[in-house]
Structure 1
Amino acid sequence: MSGAPNRRDDEVRRLLDTPHPMVPAGLVAVATVRGRRTVRRRRFAHHVLWVLLLAAVAAGIALAVMAWPDHHDPAGRTGDDTWWAPVSMGRVPTPPLP
C-alpha cells in the first residue's frame, strides 16, 4: 500500500471525531416493546394461516368424500356413465330386470 493519505479515510475520521447525538432515554424500551409487538403479530398471522390451510384441506377432503360416486346397484348392473369409469367403451348394455 502506498503511504499517501486517503481522502476517504480522512473523511471517515473527521465524521467519527465529531460529537455523537444524544440517544433518547426510553429508546431501548420503546424499541423492545415495538419488536415484541411485531413478533406477536407475525406469530398470530402464521397461526391463523396454518389454521386456514388445515381447514381448507379438511373441507377439500370432506367434499371429496361426499362427492365420491359410491352408488352400488343392487342388481349388480354397471354403466359407464360415471365420471370415474376406467375405460370408455361406449354404453354397456344393461341386462333386463327379472
Structure 2
Amino acid sequence: MNTYDRKAAEVRRLLEAGAHPVVPAELAARAVELGLRMLHRRRVVRRALWLLLAAAAIAFLVWASMARPWVVPPSTVTPPVEGLRG
C-alpha cells in the first residue's frame, strides 16, 4: 500500500466515522482576514521590489552616462618618435 492509498483510506475512515469535530463559528471570517492580510503583504513586497529594480536601473543608467565605460581611455604612454635620425 503506497502513501496515497493510506491517506485516502484514512480520509475515508474519518468521513465514515460520522461525528465531525466542532469548529468555531468565526473560523471562516478569520481565515478570510488572514488571507487578505497575506495578499496585501505580498502586493506591498512586490511593489517595493519593482521600485527597487527601477531605482537600480536608473542608477545604472546615470552611472553609465557619467562614466562612459564603453569609451577607450586615453593612452598615458606617448608613441615613439620615428624619422628623426641625427
Q: What TM-score, normalized to structure 1?
A: 0.58
Secondary structure of residue in 2 paired with 1:50: helix
Question: What do you get for the CA RMSD once the two structures are aligned?
Answer: 2.9
Structure 1 consecutive aligned stretches of length 4 or more whose deviation exceeds 6 Å? none
User: 1:13, 1:65 → 2: CA distance?
Assistant: 68
Is there any run of 5+ residues in structure 2 with no aligned partner, and where? 1-7, 81-86
Instruction: Give the % identical residues.
Output: 46
5 Å-filtered alignment, 1:1-98, equals: 14-18=13-17, 19-68=19-68, 80-81=74-75
Secondary structure of residue in 2 paired with 1:22: coil
> What number of residue pairs does the alignment pair up?
69
Larger relative helix fraction: 2
- Structure number with the bigger relative contact order (C-alpha 8 A, sep ≥ 6) is 1
Deviation readout 1:25-81 (Å, 9 max, x if unpaired): 000000000000000000000000000000000000000001127xxxxxxxxx852
User: 1:10, 1:52 → 2: CA distance?
Assistant: 50
Is there any run of 5+ residues in structure 1 with no aligned partner, and where? 1-8, 70-78, 83-89, 94-98
